[in-house]
A and B are shown apart, each in its own frame.
Chain A
Amino acid sequence: EAGVAQSPRYKIIEKRQSVAFWCNPISGHATLYWYQQILGQGPKLLIQFQNNGVVDDSQLPKDRFSAERLKGVDSTLKIQPAKLEDSAVYLCASSLDRQGGREQYFGPGTRLTVT
Protein backbone atom coordinates (compact mmCIF):
# COMPACT_ATOMS: atom_id res chain seq x y z
CA GLU A 1 0.00 0.00 0.00
CA ALA A 2 1.44 3.34 -1.03
CA GLY A 3 1.89 5.90 1.72
CA VAL A 4 1.04 9.58 1.81
CA ALA A 5 2.87 11.43 -0.93
CA GLN A 6 3.96 15.04 -0.72
CA SER A 7 5.83 17.36 -3.02
CA PRO A 8 8.08 19.18 -3.16
CA ARG A 9 10.30 17.84 -0.39
CA TYR A 10 12.21 21.08 -0.02
CA LYS A 11 11.46 24.66 -1.00
CA ILE A 12 13.38 27.88 -0.49
CA ILE A 13 11.64 31.17 -1.27
CA GLU A 14 12.01 34.81 -0.39
CA LYS A 15 9.55 36.58 1.85
CA ARG A 16 6.50 37.92 0.08
CA GLN A 17 6.71 35.19 -2.56
CA SER A 18 4.08 32.48 -3.00
CA VAL A 19 4.41 28.74 -2.59
CA ALA A 20 2.17 25.71 -2.99
CA PHE A 21 2.42 22.23 -1.54
CA TRP A 22 0.73 19.11 -2.83
CA CYS A 23 -0.46 16.03 -0.98
CA ASN A 24 -1.85 12.71 -2.17
CA PRO A 25 -3.31 10.71 0.75
CA ILE A 26 -3.59 6.97 1.10
CA SER A 27 -6.30 5.60 -1.17
CA GLY A 28 -9.65 5.41 0.59
CA HIS A 29 -8.74 7.73 3.44
CA ALA A 30 -11.55 10.19 3.98
CA THR A 31 -9.78 12.51 6.42
CA LEU A 32 -6.84 14.66 5.40
CA TYR A 33 -4.82 16.96 7.65
CA TRP A 34 -2.26 19.69 7.04
CA TYR A 35 0.14 20.44 9.88
CA GLN A 36 2.87 23.02 10.40
CA GLN A 37 5.82 21.82 12.46
CA ILE A 38 8.33 24.40 13.57
CA LEU A 39 11.71 23.04 14.65
CA GLY A 40 11.59 21.71 18.20
CA GLN A 41 7.81 21.77 18.43
CA GLY A 42 4.98 19.34 17.85
CA PRO A 43 2.85 19.48 14.71
CA LYS A 44 0.22 22.22 14.74
CA LEU A 45 -2.98 21.47 12.87
CA LEU A 46 -3.73 24.01 10.14
CA ILE A 47 -6.74 22.44 8.47
CA GLN A 48 -8.69 19.18 8.51
CA PHE A 49 -10.79 17.89 5.63
CA GLN A 50 -13.41 15.16 5.66
CA ASN A 51 -13.72 14.10 2.02
CA ASN A 52 -13.85 17.45 0.21
CA GLY A 53 -15.34 19.44 3.09
CA VAL A 54 -13.49 21.48 5.71
CA VAL A 55 -13.99 20.15 9.26
CA ASP A 56 -11.77 22.67 11.00
CA ASP A 57 -9.56 25.52 9.85
CA SER A 58 -9.56 27.57 13.04
CA GLN A 59 -5.75 27.71 13.18
CA LEU A 60 -5.20 28.49 9.51
CA PRO A 61 -3.97 32.08 8.98
CA LYS A 62 -6.56 32.78 6.35
CA ASP A 63 -5.09 36.12 5.32
CA ARG A 64 -2.19 34.26 3.71
CA PHE A 65 -2.87 30.53 3.80
CA SER A 66 -5.42 28.63 1.74
CA ALA A 67 -6.10 24.95 1.16
CA GLU A 68 -8.41 22.90 -0.95
CA ARG A 69 -9.35 19.30 -1.57
CA LEU A 70 -11.63 19.64 -4.54
CA LYS A 71 -12.38 16.01 -5.40
CA GLY A 72 -11.92 14.59 -1.95
CA VAL A 73 -8.56 13.06 -2.79
CA ASP A 74 -5.50 15.26 -3.47
CA SER A 75 -5.01 18.48 -1.58
CA THR A 76 -2.98 21.63 -2.03
CA LEU A 77 -1.86 24.13 0.60
CA LYS A 78 -0.83 27.60 -0.54
CA ILE A 79 0.93 30.46 1.19
CA GLN A 80 0.68 33.91 -0.34
CA PRO A 81 2.62 35.99 0.59
CA ALA A 82 5.13 34.09 2.71
CA LYS A 83 6.69 35.50 5.88
CA LEU A 84 9.90 34.56 7.61
CA GLU A 85 7.96 32.88 10.43
CA ASP A 86 6.41 30.46 7.92
CA SER A 87 9.71 28.57 7.78
CA ALA A 88 8.75 25.11 8.96
CA VAL A 89 8.03 21.56 7.83
CA TYR A 90 4.55 21.18 6.39
CA LEU A 91 3.18 17.72 7.03
CA CYS A 92 0.21 16.15 5.34
CA ALA A 93 -1.50 13.22 7.02
CA SER A 94 -4.50 11.05 6.28
CA SER A 95 -6.69 8.60 8.15
CA LEU A 96 -9.61 6.34 7.29
CA ASP A 97 -11.83 8.69 9.23
CA ARG A 98 -11.44 11.09 12.13
CA GLN A 99 -13.09 9.02 14.86
CA GLY A 100 -12.22 5.92 16.80
CA GLY A 101 -8.72 4.57 16.94
CA ARG A 102 -7.92 5.61 13.42
CA GLU A 103 -4.32 6.62 13.46
CA GLN A 104 -2.93 9.22 11.11
CA TYR A 105 -0.42 8.30 8.44
CA PHE A 106 2.01 11.10 7.74
CA GLY A 107 3.75 12.02 4.54
CA PRO A 108 7.48 12.87 4.45
CA GLY A 109 6.75 16.59 4.69
CA THR A 110 7.87 19.66 2.81
CA ARG A 111 10.62 21.68 4.43
CA LEU A 112 10.02 25.36 3.67
CA THR A 113 12.70 27.98 4.19
CA VAL A 114 11.68 31.63 3.81
CA THR A 115 14.58 34.04 3.48
Chain B
Amino acid sequence: GQNIDQPTEMTATEGAIVQINCTYQTSGFNGLFWYQQHAGEAPTFLSYNVLDGLEEKGRFSSFLSRSKGYSYLLLKELQMKDSASYLCAVRDEGGSYIPTFGRGTSLIVHP
Protein backbone atom coordinates (compact mmCIF):
# COMPACT_ATOMS: atom_id res chain seq x y z
CA GLY B 1 0.00 0.00 0.00
CA GLN B 2 0.87 3.65 -0.17
CA ASN B 3 1.04 6.32 2.52
CA ILE B 4 1.46 9.86 1.22
CA ASP B 5 1.88 12.92 3.42
CA GLN B 6 1.61 16.59 2.42
CA PRO B 7 1.04 19.76 4.44
CA THR B 8 -2.62 20.70 4.52
CA GLU B 9 -2.25 24.37 3.80
CA MET B 10 0.41 26.93 2.92
CA THR B 11 0.34 30.65 2.33
CA ALA B 12 2.77 32.78 0.35
CA THR B 13 3.13 36.24 -1.13
CA GLU B 14 2.79 37.13 -4.78
CA GLY B 15 6.20 37.10 -6.45
CA ALA B 16 7.77 34.85 -3.83
CA ILE B 17 8.97 31.23 -3.99
CA VAL B 18 7.20 28.37 -2.24
CA GLN B 19 8.19 24.73 -1.74
CA ILE B 20 5.50 22.09 -1.20
CA ASN B 21 6.81 18.85 0.27
CA CYS B 22 5.53 15.33 -0.19
CA THR B 23 6.76 12.25 1.66
CA TYR B 24 5.67 8.75 0.84
CA GLN B 25 5.97 5.20 2.07
CA THR B 26 5.20 2.64 -0.57
CA SER B 27 5.41 -1.05 -1.21
CA GLY B 28 6.81 -0.26 -4.64
CA PHE B 29 7.56 2.82 -6.69
CA ASN B 30 7.03 3.60 -10.36
CA GLY B 31 6.91 7.35 -10.57
CA LEU B 32 5.61 10.42 -8.78
CA PHE B 33 3.26 13.00 -10.24
CA TRP B 34 2.26 16.50 -9.20
CA TYR B 35 -1.15 17.86 -10.19
CA GLN B 36 -2.74 21.26 -9.71
CA GLN B 37 -6.41 21.52 -8.84
CA HIS B 38 -8.27 24.81 -8.70
CA ALA B 39 -11.38 24.88 -6.54
CA GLY B 40 -14.29 23.18 -8.25
CA GLU B 41 -12.17 22.02 -11.18
CA ALA B 42 -10.45 18.82 -12.25
CA PRO B 43 -6.76 18.17 -11.53
CA THR B 44 -4.29 19.09 -14.27
CA PHE B 45 -0.85 17.57 -14.74
CA LEU B 46 2.22 19.54 -13.66
CA SER B 47 5.18 17.14 -13.50
CA TYR B 48 6.45 13.58 -13.43
CA ASN B 49 9.57 12.23 -11.69
CA VAL B 50 10.81 8.66 -11.79
CA LEU B 51 14.56 9.20 -11.32
CA ASP B 52 16.27 11.16 -8.56
CA GLY B 53 16.87 14.81 -9.23
CA LEU B 54 15.24 18.01 -10.29
CA GLU B 55 12.90 18.48 -13.24
CA GLU B 56 12.37 22.07 -14.27
CA LYS B 57 9.47 23.35 -16.32
CA GLY B 58 9.07 27.10 -16.46
CA ARG B 59 8.13 28.52 -13.07
CA PHE B 60 7.55 25.04 -11.65
CA SER B 61 10.20 22.49 -10.66
CA SER B 62 9.84 19.10 -9.04
CA PHE B 63 12.45 17.15 -7.11
CA LEU B 64 12.60 13.48 -6.18
CA SER B 65 14.72 11.45 -3.77
CA ARG B 66 13.67 7.81 -3.95
CA SER B 67 15.96 6.72 -1.10
CA LYS B 68 14.30 9.23 1.21
CA GLY B 69 10.77 8.78 -0.11
CA TYR B 70 10.61 12.51 -0.63
CA SER B 71 9.58 14.97 -3.30
CA TYR B 72 8.93 18.66 -3.48
CA LEU B 73 7.25 21.03 -5.89
CA LEU B 74 8.88 24.43 -6.19
CA LEU B 75 6.86 27.35 -7.48
CA LYS B 76 8.74 30.52 -8.41
CA GLU B 77 7.49 34.04 -9.08
CA LEU B 78 4.16 33.23 -7.53
CA GLN B 79 1.05 34.64 -9.13
CA MET B 80 -2.43 34.97 -7.70
CA LYS B 81 -3.65 32.32 -10.14
CA ASP B 82 -1.33 29.80 -8.46
CA SER B 83 -3.76 29.68 -5.53
CA ALA B 84 -4.95 26.09 -5.78
CA SER B 85 -4.57 22.65 -4.26
CA TYR B 86 -1.41 20.76 -5.22
CA LEU B 87 -1.71 16.99 -5.27
CA CYS B 88 1.18 14.56 -4.97
CA ALA B 89 0.48 11.14 -6.50
CA VAL B 90 2.68 8.05 -6.32
CA ARG B 91 2.34 5.12 -8.67
CA ASP B 92 3.22 1.66 -7.51
CA GLU B 93 4.80 -1.10 -9.54
CA GLY B 94 3.98 -4.73 -9.99
CA GLY B 95 1.96 -4.61 -13.15
CA SER B 96 -1.07 -2.63 -12.05
CA TYR B 97 0.77 0.70 -11.69
CA ILE B 98 -1.92 2.01 -9.38
CA PRO B 99 -1.71 5.77 -8.69
CA THR B 100 -2.39 6.93 -5.13
CA PHE B 101 -3.05 10.59 -4.41
CA GLY B 102 -2.21 12.51 -1.26
CA ARG B 103 -4.79 14.77 0.38
CA GLY B 104 -3.38 17.80 -1.38
CA THR B 105 -1.82 21.05 -0.17
CA SER B 106 -4.00 24.13 -0.40
CA LEU B 107 -1.79 27.06 -1.42
CA ILE B 108 -3.07 30.57 -0.83
CA VAL B 109 -1.20 33.36 -2.61
CA HIS B 110 -1.89 36.83 -1.27
CA PRO B 111 -0.83 40.25 -2.62
In the complex, the answer to whether B42 meets A42 with C-beta atoms within 8 Å is no
In A42-95, the 8 Å CB interface with B consists of 42-45, 48, 55-56, 91
Which applies to chain B's interface (DSSP): helix, strand, loop or mixed? loop
Residue of A nearest to B30 (CB): A99
Count of B interface residues, CB-CB < 8 Å: 22
- A43 & B43 in contact (Cβ 8 Å cutoff): yes
B44 interfacial by beta-carbon distance below 8 Å: yes
Q: A25 near B: Cβ within 8 Å? A: no
Interface-lining segment among B11-19, B63-71, B75-83, B101-109: B101-109
Select one of A35, A41, A101, A108 contacting B41, CB under 8 A.
A108
B96 lies within 8 A of chain A by Cβ: yes
What is the CB-to-nearest-CB distance from B20 to chain A, in angstroms, rounded to a whole number? 13
Given contacts A43-B43, A107-B42, A108-B42, contact A101 B103 (CB under 8 A): no
Please measure, in the bound complex, the distance between the C-alpha atom of A99 and the C-alpha atom of B44, giving whole angstroms: 18
A44 contacts B42, C-beta separation under 8 Å: no
Q: Provide 12 A-B residue pairs closer than 8 Å at the C-beta atoms, listed in order of the A residue.
A: A41-B104, A42-B103, A45-B98, A45-B101, A48-B98, A98-B96, A101-B48, A101-B50, A103-B33, A103-B48, A104-B99, A106-B43
Q: Residues of B with Cβ closer than 8 Å to A?
A: 4, 30-31, 33, 41-45, 48, 50, 87, 89, 96-104
Query: Chain A: residues with CB nearer than 8 A to chain B?
Result: 33, 35, 40-45, 48, 55-56, 91, 98-101, 103-109
